Amino acid sequence: MAEVDRISIRGGRLIDPANRLDREVDIHLADGRVLAIGEAPPGFEPERVLDARGLIVCPGFVDLSARLREPGLEQKATIASETRAAAASGITTLCCPPDTSPVIDTPAVAQLIQQIAQRHGFARVVPAGAMTRDLDGKQITEMAALKLAGCPVLSQADRSIRNAQVQRRAMEYAATFGLTLFLHPQDPDLTSGGCAHEGRVSARLGLPGIPEAAETVAVARDLALAGQTGARIHFRGLSTARATVMLAAARGRGVQASGDVAIHQLFLTEDDLDGFDANCHLVPPLRTRADRDALRHALAAGEIGAICSDHQPHDADAKLLPFPETAPGISGLETLLPLALRLVTEGVLDLPGVVARLTVGPAEILGLDLGHLSPGATADVCIFDPNDGWIPTPETLLSHGENSPFLHTQMHGRVMATFLDGRIVFERASDR
């Protein structure tokens, strides 16, 4: 990583949705901050000048859910390996769910993860603190202490709280400290034992199903509780059309609720389970084409404010068992940008809209002053070529997780350079 304090990026198309900026203009960085947009200040002498002509310059991406597998599952991946992959993907900030081992339910674990990430220096890791001790769904954690330890949000990862009274108390407690709760919108009883969307494909393949109601029941309960307690909640990983309608209606009533979608839910459907591809074993499951189209519509309408990777790297053995017994999840960091750009190609969003849902949208959900390039802002910057074609293979991925249904698929869009706090943390070799 290059240690250069003063940098000018010249000639790129700067897209900064937070500031409604989309034009070819220079940007200058100094001392880890955005110094100026346009003309350099008098006397400014950059130590390095990057030629960004023909490239997109934007804020570094913010990913709301990326599992790093450390501590506890280092045979799958490590903070070093996954944050390095994040940097190569233009991601400068990522939120780590609390289902590590040990669970992120104490300040010590939260601080340990941040210290390891800072030591490697590839990306900023913000841990989501656990809502309940050991994610047991019973005893609420010391939320204020977790907030002080650097947890901007609290979560149960993929383990929902069954007891509505405990959920209500958690919301009341979180609201007291101004914390957002990341909620897994899946009813645990309706989800139990399932591995695919309950529908025609699961019936044909003989796979145990997870009904749409598993999501809508959970969303309905939590929206009602949020309305009563005044808590701020975020549905992490929506997958059904009905849930997006419920979210929009609740927001219209003034409920402080938001939602995100994993990038793979915008492209894959239940039909991709044909052939029993274990890389399509996901939670929530891949739904119908109508659900996928509704997610796209909600994203375009702004009802869903963020796209995330939902990165879950696995070792090869985790995907070798019969489909229902395999571990769910996709290794998603390195295909996040090219898949998001495919939304532009397919007319779902324009390019500034895609950048917004990868930057300022998720940053606002986390409550962090990131995801924009205002003068004086943290100099987290991504430079990418939207037209550069490539094909992901196990050999090209930096993540230790090779579990992706998008391997050997033509992609367009690659990151050329990533800056974290004004430092170059990734730079692709170029003949420029």
pLDDT at 44: 95
User: Which tokens sit at 336?
Assistant: 């996040």
Question: How far, in Å, CA of 378 to CA of 170, rounded?
Answer: 32
Distances (CA, A) of 4 to 36, 135, 326, 348: 17, 42, 45, 38
pLDDT at 431: 58
Mean pLDDT of 374-399: 97
HSE-CB of 225 using CA atoms within 13 angstroms = 24
Question: How far, in Å, CA of 207 to CA of 398, rounded?
Answer: 33
pLDDT at 144: 97
pLDDT tens sequence across 288-315: 999 999 999 999 999 999 999 999 999 9
Beta-carbon count within 10 A of 109 CB: 22
- β-bridge partners, 382: 58, 418
Question: How far, in Å, CA of 114 to CA of 96, rounded?
Answer: 10
pLDDT at 247: 98
Which residue is listed with tokens 């330890």? 149
Which residue is listed with tokens 């909640």? 233
Question: How far, in Å, CA of 303 to CA of 429, rounded?
Answer: 38
pLDDT at 1 over 60: no
Task: Give the residue, 1 or 313, on which the prediction is more confident.
Answer: 313
pLDDT at 188 over 90: yes
pLDDT at 5: 85
Mean pLDDT of 42-66: 97
Spatial neighbors of 429 by CB under 8 A, at least 6 apart, are: none
pLDDT at 430 over 90: no
Question: How far, in Å, CA of 165 to CA of 193, rounded?
Answer: 25
Q: How is residue 408 annotated by DSSP? A: T
Spatial neighbors of 186 by CB under 8 A, at least 6 apart, are: 158, 160, 210, 214, 215, 218, 283, 284
pLDDT at 37 over 60: yes
| Length reported for the chain | 432
Phi and psi torsions of 11, nearest 5°: 85, 0
Q: How confident is the model at residue 3 (pLDDT cuts 50, 70, 90)?
A: low
Q: How confident is the model at residue 429 (pLDDT cuts 50, 70, 90)?
A: confident
pLDDT tens sequence across 231-246: 999 999 999 999 999 9
* Single-letter amino acid, residue 206: G
Torsion over CA: 17, 19, 23, 28 (sign): negative
Mean pLDDT, the chain, as a whole number?
Answer: 97
* Single-letter amino acid, residue 42: P
Q: How is residue 41 annotated by DSSP? A: P
Mean pLDDT of 189-210: 97
The percentage of residues in the chain with a pLDDT greater than 70, rounded to a whole number, is 99
Mean pLDDT of 57-71: 98
Which of these, 356, 267, 385, 281, lies nearest to 324 by C-alpha position?
281
Which residue is listed with tokens 């209606």? 249
pLDDT at 174 over 70: yes
Question: How far, in Å, CA of 173 to CA of 167, rounded?
Answer: 10
pLDDT tens sequence across 259-289: 999 999 999 999 999 999 999 999 999 999 9
pLDDT tens sequence across 321-333: 999 999 999 999 9
Active-site residue set: 310
Mean pLDDT of 202-220: 98
pLDDT at 2 over 80: no
How are beta strands 91-96 and 61-63 bridged, if at all? parallel
Question: How far, in Å, CA of 410 to CA of 133, rounded?
Answer: 44
Q: Are 359 and 318 in contact (CB under 8 A)?
A: no
For residue 46, is the peptide bond before it cis, meaning its omega torsion is within 30 degrees of 0? Answer: no
pLDDT at 432 over 90: no
